[in-house]
Amino acid sequence: MSDVSFDTLSVHQSLKNKNHFTSKATPIYQTSSFSFKNLDELESYFEGETPYLYTRYGNPNTDELGAAVAALESAESGVAASSGMSGILAGIVSVAKNGDHIVACDDLYGGTYHLLDTELKNFGIDVTFVSFANEQEIREAIRENTKLLYTETITNPFLRAENIEMLVSIAKEFNIATMVDNTFATPYVLQPYKEGVDLVVHSATKYLGGHSDVSAGVIVGSEELIQSVRQKIISLGANLSPFEAWLTCRGIKTLALRMEKQNNNAQYIADELKENANVQKVYFPKSVSEKGNGAVVTIELSPQCDIHTFFASLGWIKIVPSLGGVETSVSYPFGTSHRNLPPEAQEKLGINERVIRISIGIENPKEILAELISAIETSLI
């Protein structure tokens, strides 16, 4: 292009990959759209012969992420979304429509509770919240127009391990779908799709990404269902960017290593805090799988502790409204994730100003414990 002007050359100087270089790492396809040589090649996309047209419709990086999580969950197919919440919404509206009904567990993440309790009303979808620890409550809540049972494998923030076998059995009996958020357990601990769950969703922002530097969601299931979910993500504009998909795929490469360490650390912290007189309650699941019980520990401090002093005394442990990174962090459900729950729902679940959710990292477990104990002792009134 030596015979063109500087203006034109500056636009068209980027390297064109005509040699199909064999990169060890997947390249980042940071492009909004894909180009075509002619109209016949363009038409080949619509005939299913060419995979990519426009990144909102699909991109090699987002496809790699969806396929990776599907493989980890032993599911047929998967699709990436811009966040866990957008993945949840896309999954729900793929199986439920105006006039339909959903039965959901009442101890959900606050953002999901709000979505189901408030936003879905605008879609004409009704939701009943019941205790999924009580099989009879689930059965009594099911109506003729119920299309979906929704829960979390390990609930947020009180870490109740869901009875997936019971849930799937009820759903099959009534011929309705199941959808489960597997964020806290991850596929390392549990694979709900293998147990018969129809749709499994992840906030990949947490453990799949693993480094607190990405917001992403992934939903997996049968090829037929995921085709519907994918179309919803396209239509809602809920697609994930190529770079964030690339970061999440990179994080997944160390998922097993991180989860083994974090699960073991969490078990140690939970066991030790149960012996602390200034910790009124410790919430930590038992016998989730042979690989562990997750990497989150929730505690309720005794009334002798001042919550503000506790959080101000944590040293190197960060206060954040999320979880799943390699660093240990704490969050305050009463003031963040579950602050918008109706007061009666907070009271029923036990969410009060002394409840703390701890996301256990990969640090030395004794040093994590020492920081927590120091903050607890400093907070004593």
Cα angle 235, 236, 238; round to 5: 115
User: Does residue 6 surpass a pLDDT of 70?
Assistant: no
**pLDDT beyond 80 at 317:** yes
pLDDT at 2: 66
Q: What is the mean pLDDT of residues 7-27?
A: 74
How far apart CA 139 and CA 146 sit, in angstroms, is 11
Specify the pLDDT at position 27: 92
Asked if residue 169 lies in contact with residue 135, where contact means CB atoms within 8 angstroms, the answer is no
How far is residue 281's CA from residue 265's CA, in Å, rounded to a whole number? 18
110-149 pLDDT per residue, tens: 999 999 999 999 999 999 999 999 999 999 999 999 999 9
**Residue-level pLDDT at 19:** 62
Q: Are strands 146-152 and 217-221 parallel, antiparallel or unpaired?
A: unpaired
CATH topology assigned to domain 39-44+53-252: Aspartate Aminotransferase; domain 2 (3.40.640)
Provide the mean pLDDT of the chain: 95
**Of all residues in the chain, what percent are helix, strand and coil, respectively (each to 5)?**
40, 15, 45
Q: Does the pLDDT at position 62 exceed 80? A: yes
pLDDT digits (tens, 9 = 90+) for 196-247: 999 999 999 999 999 999 999 999 999 999 999 999 999 999 999 999 999 9
Task: For residues 213 and 244, give the distance between their C-alpha atoms in angstroms, rounded to a whole number.
Answer: 9
Of the CA atoms within 13 Å of residue 166, those in its CB half-sphere come to 13
- Rounded Cα–Cα distance for residues 37 and 375 (Å): 64
Q: What is the CATH number of domain 255-378?
A: 3.90.1150.10
Do the domains 255-378 and 39-44+53-252 match in fold? no
CA 250 to chain centre: 17
Residue 279 has pLDDT above 70, yes or no: yes
Q: Phi/psi zone of residue 311: left (φ > 0), alpha (ψ -120 to 50 degrees), beta?
A: alpha
15 has pLDDT over 80:
no
Note whether 260 and 189 are within 8 A (CB).
no
Going through the chain in order, the beta strands assigned E by DSSP cover: 77-81, 101-105, 126-130, 146-152, 177-181, 199-203, 217-221, 279-283, 296-301, 318-319, 329-331, 355-359
- Domain extents for the chain? 39-44+53-252, 255-378
Q: What share of the chain in percent tops pLDDT 90? A: 89
Longest dimension (CA), the chain: 80
